[in-house]
Structure 1
Amino acid sequence: MTLSEQKKLVVGITFYVSQTNTNIWATGAIQNVIYLYLMMQNIPSVAEVILINGGDSDVLSSTLMLDGVDIKIARLPEVMDRLDVLIEGGAQVDRDSIVELHKRGAKVVAYRMGNDFVIDMERVIFKQSPGYLFQRVGFDEVWTIPQHEKTCRSYWEVMERCAVKVLPHIWSPLFIDKTIAELPSNLTFGYQKSITTPSTPKKIAILEPNVNVVKTCHYPLLVCEAAYRQDPSVFKAIYVTNTSHIKDHVTFQHFIGTMDVGLNGIATVEDRYNTPFFLAAHANVVVSHQWENELNYLYYDVLYGGYPLIHNSTMLKCGYYFEAFDAEAGATVLLDVLRHHDSRAEEYKAQAQEFLKTVHVDYPENIRQYEQALLNLFAD
């Protein structure tokens, strides 16, 4: 079928509607499915987009923050005969449904948003609960995002027995704008210059989730420790969030407890918070580190507020970069930020906004690439 002959498509994207009140900030994958939905609505070759509910509830929780968003949602049997493309996103599709969709001439894509190779290794090695299970279900293609190509492309190609296509990582300020609007009146989201001198001690946030090895607080803490030893005067506080569930682990206690930032009470263990609230209420600077997870929504939310982001992502073309697994290099960057960022804050924010345009669901090149991927499914 040529592109000129291709009719406008009806696209379904699976989503797990849960009986529990799933917060939109709980995982990036939930946001990613909604961003994909919004992206598909922008594609000229798409007539309709439907969220396919594969969950245990039919009621969207208010904690998903989807009020006011144009969402069509249905169970798969209700719309199966209308779908041209089904994208497995937030809920698994069973083998029989894929067989039936193929009989009807539809295509089925697996949209992979996480580092499945690492996550699956951890599930096996650490005897965790099973997650996604390979079933030889017959996907036409796997779509993924750039940060997972290196570790996962071959994993999916072999196990799913189909081609893997890498597409842009996409984002929208939808949820962060809604969260900002709900902040208490005494809080302002967005980086504020020091009101006294640029060298006024700063409050640093480490916001890694600490749920698997690709994003933990260890190297951000090492960066802060190395910088603190050189100049403690520029540090007011280091908030290590998302660590309440590991605070009693003896290894973690000795890790943070034998650092100068721990011994002197500069670094503190904190609960989980949504990013806009925590930055508005508590922090001036974010220090981050990832391992084969170079693009994530934490970065975009921090940049959206113009906050200085110290990171090791080669794919992120703004912020303050340091070489991965090099705490001393990170410390050099961090000290420069703490001492001098205010003098370039406006330029930094402008650069961040220009970058964020390139990941937006409205960005023309993103729309073009996703549209081409859809149409190529039907190319002879």
Structure 2
Amino acid sequence: MSGLELAEKSLLGTMFAETYLIGDGGLQEAFFTKIAHQRIFTLMRRLAAEHRAVDYITVLTMAEPAELGGANYVSNLQNFANPARFDEYKAIVIGEWKTREKQRILQLAQVENWSIVDIQKAFDNLEAENSAQEEASIQDDLASLYELPFQPVREEGGTPAGLRDLDNLLNGFQDSELTIIGARPSMGKTDTLNHLALHAGLAGHLPIIFSLEMSRKSMITRLIASAGGYNRLRMRNPHRYFDEKQKAGWTQTIGFLDGAGIHIDDRSGLTVGQIKAKARHIIKTNPDRKPIIYIDYLQLIRPDNMQDDQTRKIGQISYDLKNMAKEFGCPVVCLSQLSRGVEGRKDKRPLMSDLRDSGNIEQDADVICFLYRDGYYDKDSEDGNLLEIIVAKHRNGPTGTATVAYRKETGKLFDINWDERKGLA
């Protein structure tokens, strides 16, 4: 069995498992080389168009099994399902189809004595045939903006961070943008991510967290501690260590957190392709909420090519994350470790150069933030409970620092007024 045939079988099997890909996957009958595969795909598409269930049984009721390679053949396609590799296998199948089409064009051109210009035009049409064609002229855009200065406009921000000063700087996390949040270990990265996800969910968005380091149980425990203001040490045994007031508020805290609609995938060693596959599934099954994707953290994402050096691996990953944000049209917020170089400076506030194995991170990210706490380095600091979120790069807006209060024992972040600052030390 050839690699191309295996790729085709994987595409069909994956569409049985994730039926929304039948319409959204960008495939056509002609892309498949085997007649049976073409027929199966056509029947799957017909069932989907009629809003009927799509599985190997319903497909087999639409045609003679022999036309589809046999009942066992259709049933076994499910064993080839691989959502994480769907885009990769689709590219292989479409690439082979384009090669076949180019050969057909050259044969036809030779028989009919086409000019070089005609051949090139046919090649260009072939490339355009499977590409989404969007209007390039800006005339309609200009027309829609004609009255802009003369009519009131409702300003819409991005997905809120739930922190006043940070939202003022970023106007929320913007669709199609990649945000990197870098910090040294134990600076508060995961607590910051949990805060952002919780407040995005409470605002009606769809927070999808990929926790590559911490278990799902640990993440949920942290979310509950933050949402309810519970000391994390006491969370180890709430029945024993909670007072009556804390126990009385437990049910309300759980309900409050449930309303955020957070999704957590805690599998380790995921590739960007696997992250995309899972996120795509969650997004399709929650169509009423706008997604935002959080990843903890960048250096734990498994590269597709293990042969490259670390800098090139991280560079490819950051490039893929940016493309994922554009493909899904949603914000992607990814945590990142910083190098130890920051520890050797007198002023330990992070710089761009501290991004670990930076590769193209600085180039690909639309927003780069750093976390810094005086209390991390000086336990006696009067600013020990203050967390600085330093916006060091903002492609489409201002840079600056948002200072918030941070209670490490609960993992809670909250806004402060500067006249309250002394009381937080």
Q: TM-score, normalised by structure 2?
A: 0.27
Choose 1 or 2 for highest CA Rg: 2
Q: TM-score, normalised by structure 1?
A: 0.29
More helix by share: 2
